[in-house]
Amino acid sequence: MKYAYYPGCSLQSTAMGYDLSLREVCLKLGIELVEVPGWICCGSTAAHSTSHLLALALPIKNLQLVQKTGIKEMVVPCAACFSRFKFALDQCEKEPELKKQVEHILDEPFPQGISVLHPLEIFSRPEMLGQINQQIKNHTPELKLVCYYGCLLTRPPKVTKFDQCENPTSMDKILSTAGFFPQDWSYKTDCCGASLVFTETELSLKLIDKLITQAKLLDAEAIALACTLCHTNLDTRQKDLKKISGNDYHLPILFFTQLLGLGFGIEPKKLGLKKHLTSTEPVLKKFNR
Amino acid sequence: MWSVSEGWVSGLAKEIYFRSGENVYLCFQCQKCSSGCPVNFAMDYTPAQLLDAIRLGEEDLVLSSKTAWLCACCETCTTRCPQELDLAKVMDTVKMIAMERRIPALPKVFAFYDSFLSDLKIFGRIYELGLIMWLKLRTKEFTKDLGLGMEMMKKGNLKILPHFVRPREVQRIFSKVMELERGKK
């Protein structure tokens, strides 16, 4: 299987572990990722908050680059980028006038027939679950965790067409196939505050605190997630939480691909597990790493 | 196109409709948006109240309210609205109008958007260190999250040097978007 791969900006810096582990895991599962040549930023929140047209033009520009590779399916691991691509495709499809304007801005015809996929959608296909099961080395230690999907993968469902909107289960399926113990919890798609953390830090900390407290109440030993900004917020802000709530959580926050990688017997360093600010040691110890 | 009601229609509601295609007169105040909003506790007006104010043409109130600026773009309201109003898009449009009039209710959030886009325009991809510098210069909060930044650097999570990817093409996209948007007004 061959897919075009759009890492997005955060996977090259703050979420490097996601990029490293996704590449490693795909290698084991026989998935070939071809990085989109010269991809540019999707514009993220800043673009769609300032200009409707800019928010469409930037993702569509990237899809034109994909078209040149001749590959029809693109994998986007970052939930924010994933959402921007889905929105751009949806709006241009609904409003031909917007599509014309985007073509005018980019001086190139609209890319045809390219679909945008999240790794969770690929890994949760029945044949992939079978492969994951085969790749699991040894016995996965008993590890209770909660799967956190965040906002942008599932919402709005008409646009993202991802899993079930209020109770997604794809990550739970993947990780339980790999031998982990995902718990049922009600906060799968709650908001962590996203980019408000940079400017309205206290507000965002309250949301982060709620998520981690709720995970702890279920005795979760880690939170598994698939969004880069959720990871940054939950992983790097645990020290700040101590200041507002007095609680010292030390709850490891891992990308689901890092957990899969551990299950496949890949070196923690190759999965970027040493880059976290909240130590991942408690999880690694269970794997005798 | 605008066939909601006869008689008086608020100017702000009209402007939002022409920019985003969203008709706030569809709202019947069921409060689903406001009860599901994760940041409602910090807002001065709930999303439903803001829609009502738009409908009443309370421009000053809407544009000086923190509500749109605190929106985390989580899309819960858009998902749950029984009238299929894209509320997140309405929030974006309110911010756009306020930015054009140079009256952002939360200047720091505006500074973040502006810094992000300046960074993107120069490098083609986000160069985080550059973005942080821009933001600090704009907000004058030089010591905020400094320790966190240092820790991230130590772990190698922030790239020291930027990439330059398609800078000319990216700048062209920005200027053509501006050109088109100026033509619309």
Q: Where are the domains of chain B?
A: 6-100, 107-184
Contact B166 A198 (CB under 8 A): no
What band does B183 get if pLDDT is binned at 50, 70 and 90?
confident
Q: Per mean pLDDT, which of B48-52, B141-145, B147-151, B164-168 is the most reliable?
A: B48-52
Q: pLDDT at position A210, please?
A: 94
Q: Is A12 in contact with B159 (CB distance < 8 Å)? A: yes
Q: Is the ipTM of this complex over 0.90?
A: yes
Most A CBs within 10 A among B33, B39, B165, hence the mutation to make, goes to B39
Residue boundaries of the structural domains of chain A: 2-119, 137-286
Q: What is the pTM of this model?
A: 0.95
Give percent of chain A above pLDDT 90.
92
Whether residue A275 lies within 8 A of chain B, CB to CB, comes out as yes
Q: State pLDDT tens for residues A160-211.
A: 999 999 999 999 999 999 999 999 999 999 999 999 998 899 999 999 999 9
Residue in B21, B112, B181 closest to A198 by CB: B112
Q: State pLDDT tens for residues A4-36.
A: 999 999 999 999 999 999 999 999 999 999 999
Domain A2-119 is found in CATH 3.30.750.24: no
Mean pLDDT of A252-270: 95
**A132 pLDDT more than 60:** yes
Contact A50 B19 (CB under 8 A): no
Q: pLDDT at position A137, please?
A: 76
Q: pLDDT at position B173, please?
A: 96
Could you tell me how many CB contacts below 8 A there are between chain A and chain B?
A: 160
Q: State pLDDT tens for residues A36-87.
A: 999 999 999 999 999 999 999 999 999 999 999 999 999 999 999 999 999 9
Q: Which CATH class is domain B6-100?
A: mainly alpha
Whether residue A196 lies within 8 A of chain B, CB to CB, comes out as yes
Contact B181 A53 (CB under 8 A): yes
Can you name the CATH fold of A137-286? Rossmann fold (3.40.50)
